[in-house]
Structure 1
Amino acid sequence: MNRSFWITTLIAFVNSISFTILIPILYPYGKQLGLTDFQTSLLFTTYAGAQFLATPVIGKLSDRYGRKPLLLLSLAGTVVASFMAGTAHSAAILFAARFFDGITGGNVSVSQAIVSDVVSPQDRAKAFGIYSSATFGLGFILGPATSLIAQQVSLGASFLVSSGLALIALLVTFFFLPETLKVKAEEATNVFHIGLGNLVKGLTIPRVGILLMINFLIGTTFTIFTFAFQPYFIHVLGQNSQSLTLIFILFGSLTLVMQVKGIPLLTKQLSLVQILLLSLLIRSLSFVVMPIVPSLAYFVSVSILFSLFNALVQPMITTLISLNSKSNVQGTAMGLNASYLNVSNAFGPIIAGSLIHQSNAVTYTYPLYLAGVLTFLVWLFAIATRKQYRHRAS
């Protein structure tokens, strides 16, 4: 792995901490500002919906004008938006901040395109494993841990720390990251050429389109869980925002172990497609059995199994998309992938929030069961279509 890869991974790691600081506190922060469960779910939807619109545009522009300027723009948006949220005195300002963060949020897709630029195809599974272990692994440990400290001041302080970390990532990008785009795409002539039209056209891309569809379905089912388990954890299991943060630290720790140690071992024995299918099956079963017993010890036990295999899903999807994409459209492909994942993030919380009724505790289990059943159906779909996206290197 060369210098540009490690710098990009460092930037993505710092950005990941900035992002994961917010995960354990967004639900209780919304409640603190007087939002209902359903209204709080709209915070997640607002951010994800804005990202859905912006990410393909940012990805396409990075193919035309370079990775670095678009990464700088995205990071600057996070700096401003997190500061707005941290100083918000009303739910309206918080919603505006989440929208602004989403509309400028192409950080992940652009950094993934940089990895594709600088790493050879045969090394990308390993590269994205390292990248994911730093961002979705170590970042998911240090982010919630940092949030736990910031919460001692206030929930809003977590947003201010997030803003500061995004600023650090921005400065590292500006001073140390070289431009990695070697072949520029043709100049866009209108907004549809920039990328929005690709949201539909992307599904027709050979081998990539089916992966975008699968990842959209994966994301929808997963975000039903990620929103629903927070009120379940607090209201059914009787926990608070601090213990919620600790469970996120557990998720991150296990993710890091699996992505650092597990991926290299598994890729020697199984194909990328086989690893993906196994992970989806375990995820489905975990969602279904998780709410059966309303016990903290039981929930943590199931969460351990879930976290280990859940850590494999996105690295496998990202690698398969990268391997099936031509070199001069890596940014577009990664942008489309992030965009479909983002719009799935918009649907999941609304589905979960609409099933929950605060007056009836049993309804907090409904979204978890639903996520399990739907994930099983996605698993069946991924099996049925595997010949369409299987790559010779996978």
Structure 2
Amino acid sequence: METKKALPILFLVMFLVMIGFGIIIPVLPFYAEEMGASPTQLGLLMAVYSLMQLIFAPVWGKLSDRIGRKPIMMIGIAGLSLSFFIQAMATELWMLFAARIIGGVLSSANMPTAMAYVADVTTPENRGKGMGIVGAAVGLGFVFGPAIGGIFSKSSMSMPFYLAGASSLITLVIIFFFLKESLQKDNNAANQNKAESRWKAFTGPASVLFLLQLLISLSLSGLEATFAYFAAQKAGLGATQLGYIFMIMGFAGALVQGGMVGRLTKKYGEGKVIQGGIVVSAIGFGLILFVDSFTTAAIFLSIFGIGNGVIRPSVSSLLTKTTDAGHGSATGLLSSFDSLGRIIGPPLGGWLFSLSIGLPYISGAIISVMALVLYQFYRTKALVVKTN
């Protein structure tokens, strides 16, 4: 049943969640360094969060199919707030690790539950639009969050963490009072049966979509981990200029997700949008090799961001339409594959960069072609199942 009021509230919720994430991004490395973290320990601090999300996102997705989206989302937001406040009050490095583990375990509930919520409240033809709205909220949160964190870190390194914690508490209040449960009681029993195994979603043609998302996430995180070094060597760009470039890229991606994904999927279907997004991403990877100034970096990275930005909402939409599992189980597993890509991507990108500075982007284009081939394989499998 489609609920017009639900999506704007969900947009606000996910925007505030990602604002909190974004606030601590520019601060955490320096904050950890103050507590004596080595570069290796900093890398582990970043990775442990994604590792917890990899493990627990399917668990929360499955639970949301059983007991509802709203309570699981509230657990995720509360856990996020707790982890931010622990980090704000941390005096030793182990406390940061404990907070990141707690945050990773509990906040892994947020994204799969939000996507499952969209699937619950939208009709199949408007599913892409709903997923795009969530994607736009995520993108905009990452645009504004780091800027806020950078400003308030000047007064105190712990202040951004307190702000992120407070933002999460406000989000919790909004969910409690304004977000209605989307899982219908008459569908509860069916969802419970569907959610018997968290790997139920990884069957049939839909299993290919999880692997496709893994490749997309892998290539994106490899770019994010190395582009600062690449732009510094190729165009002499500094941290401030890179911040503006990623902000422009974030705005471009968010605008496309929020304003175009719904129209495109409605007109052409998710499949063509996914393929188009992959092609544009591959072109973006190729263009990045020719970066020689702030302007070219902003344009080429935005081209990549636009292509990459339409893929995840379209994959989520297609998956929830075709899976035999509950929406939460499917989106939880999708988030898990996304996290796996984010764990493998940065060290792989860094290693490729050490061999040749252009290699992460050449490999990104190759991975994009692999993703395109993988989608064709999905189409063939889906067609065989349909005809049988």
Tell me the TM-score range normalised by the shorter chain.
0.7 to 0.9
> Using the alignment, how far apart are the partners of 1:342 and 1:272 within structure 2?
22
The verdict on how the C-alpha distance between 1:162 and 1:239 changes in structure 2, with shifts beyond 3 A counting, is: farther
Provide the rounded CA distance (Å) in 1 between the counterparts of 2:83 and 2:316. 27
Q: Given that residues 62 and 110 in structure 1 are in contact (C-alpha distance below 8 angstroms), is that contact kept between their aligned partners in structure 2? A: yes
Match of 1:323 in 2: 321
Instruction: Give runs of aligned pairs for residues 343-382 of structure 1, distance below 5 A.
Output: 343-355=340-352, 364-382=357-375
1:134 and 1:88 map into 2 onto residues whose CA distance is 29
Aligned to 2:308: 310
Partner of 1:144: 146
What letter is aligned with 2:328?
G
Q: Structure 2 unaligned runs (5+)? A: none
Corresponding letter in the other structure for 2:363: L
Q: In the aligned structure 2, how far is the partner of 1:231 from the partner of 1:40? A: 18
Task: Check the 8 A contact 1:52/1:342 in 2, yes or no.
Answer: yes
Q: How many residues align?
A: 380
Q: Does 1:202 align with 2:206?
A: no
- In structure 2, the residue matched to 1:70 is 72
Does 1:133 pair with 2:99?
no
Secondary structure at 2:87 match in 1: helix
TM-score by length of 2: 0.86
* Equivalent position of 1:224 in the other structure: 222
1:184 is matched with which residue? 188
Instruction: State the superposition RMSD in angstroms.
Output: 3.1
Distance in 2 separating the partners of 1:187 and 1:275: 29
Instruction: Indicate conservation of the 8 Å contact 1:41/1:349, yes or no.
Output: no
Cα shift at 1:71: 0.8
Provide, for residues 123-160 of structure 1, a one-character-per-residue CA deviation record: whole Å limited to 9, x for no partner: 21222222322332x32332233233223334543333
Q: Which amino acid aligns with 2:372?
A: W
CA contact (8 A) 1:22 1:147 kept: yes
Aligned to 2:116: 113
C-alpha contact 1:251 1:304 (8 A) present in aligned 2: yes
Structure 1 residues 19 and 330, CA gap change in structure 2 (3 angstroms) = same
Instruction: Quote the offset at 1:264 in angstroms.
Output: 4.5
State the identity %.
Answer: 27
**Could you say if the C-alpha distance between residues 237 and 317 of structure 1 is closer, same or farther in structure 2, counting changes exceeding 3 Å?**
same
Q: Distance in 2 between matches of 1:90 and 1:99?
A: 15
Structure 2 Cα separation of the partners of residues 354 and 90 of structure 1 = 30
TM-score when normalising by structure 1: 0.85
Q: Report the CA distance between 1:279 and its aligned residue.
A: 1.1
TM-fit CA distance, 1:217: 1.9
Taking a change above 3 Å as real, the CA distance of residues 293 and 120 of structure 1, as seen in their structure-2 partners, is: closer
For residues 145 and 214 of structure 1, what CA distance do their matches in structure 2 show? 32
Amino acid at match of 2:208: I
Alpha-carbon separation, structure 2, partners of 1:21 and 1:209: 35
- One-letter code of the match for 1:52? L
The whole-number CA distance in structure 2 between the counterparts of 1:144 and 1:163 is 15
Could you tell which deviates more after superposition, 305-314 or 378-387? 378-387
Cα deviation, residue 218, structure 1:
1.6
Q: 1:166 to 1:230 in 2, by over 3 A?
A: farther
Q: 2: CA distance between counterparts of 1:275 and 1:291?
A: 25
- Write the letter of the residue equivalent to 1:59: G
Q: More displaced, 249-258 or 151-160?
A: 151-160
Distance 2:326 2:110 in 1: 17
Alignment partners' CA distance in 2, 1:239 and 1:39? 27
